[in-house]
Structure 1
Amino acid sequence: AVRKQEIIKITEQLIEAINNGDFEAYTKICDPGLTSFEPEALGNLVEGMDFHKFYFENLLSKNSKPIHTTILNPHVHVIGEDAACIAYIRLTQYIDGQGRPRTTQSEETRVWHRRDGKWLNVHYHCSGAPAAPLQ
C-alpha cells in the first residue's frame, strides 16, 4: 500500500510540473528515453524529450490561466521492487480563449522504473483529449 501511494504521489508531481509549464521539474521525473503514445503524436510512438519540450516552450510556460487536474480511480500495479504501472482517468479543467471554463478527459497509463532510489517515468500512453489544453 505504501508503494502504491508513492506511485500516485510521483504521478501527481509529474502532472503538476506539466500544469506549471516546468520543463526542468518534468525532466527530473522522466527518463531521458521516455517513450509515449499520445494524441499529439497522431498514433506514433515518440521517444525522448524533444517532442514534449515543444509544448512546454510554446504552450504550457506561456499559459497564465490556471489549469487544475484531477486524477480519478488510480490503479497501481506493483511489478517487483523497482517497477510499477499506474492507470487513471485525468480530468483537466482550464479557461479557454474566450474565458469559458472547459473540462477535458484523457485515459492515461504510466510505467515507472526506480533507479538509484528515484522513480522515473519510462513510458506514457494517453487516449482521449490531448493532455495540454489548447487555448
Structure 2
Amino acid sequence: MAPRRLGATVPWCLGAMVPWGHGAMAPRCLGALVPWCHGATEPWCLGDMAARCLGATVPWCHGAMAPRCHSATVPWRHGAMEPRCFGALVTWCHGATEPWCLGALVPWCHGATVPWCHGATVPSCLGDTVHGYPT
C-alpha cells in the first residue's frame, strides 16, 4: 500500500492505479473517487456515495455498482443491477462476514474467484493475489 499522499499511486488491478492523498482523487474524503478495475471508480468514506456506510454504492468492475454494507444487495458488472444468489446479503463493514452463495466462491473479474471474510486471500482479476481488503 502506497503512502497516502497527493500523487501517490498503487498498482492494483490490471495496471489500474489508485491515487491517494487529498482533494478530488483522495480516498477517505467526501465524494472522492478511486480508479479500481478497468477504469471503474470507487467512492469512499462519507455521504451518499460512501463505500463503507449503510446503503452506500461502489462502482466496482466495468462500471457496475456494488453496495458493500449491511443488508445491501449485490448489483454486478456492466451497470447491471442483479442481486446474486437470489438476494444474498453483502455484510462487509466492521469485520462482518459475507454469506456469499452459501459459502461458494464468487466470480469477480475475468473468471477469478473471491473467497472473502476475515483476511482471506483475494484473487483479483487475472489471478493477482491481494490479501484482505484495501484500507
The interval holding the TM-score normalised by the smaller chain is under 0.3
Taking structure 2 as the reference length, the TM-score comes to 0.26
Structure with greater helix share of residues? 1
Taking structure 1 as the reference length, the TM-score comes to 0.26
Structure with greater strand share of residues? 1
RCO comparison, higher one (Cα < 8 Å, 6+): 1
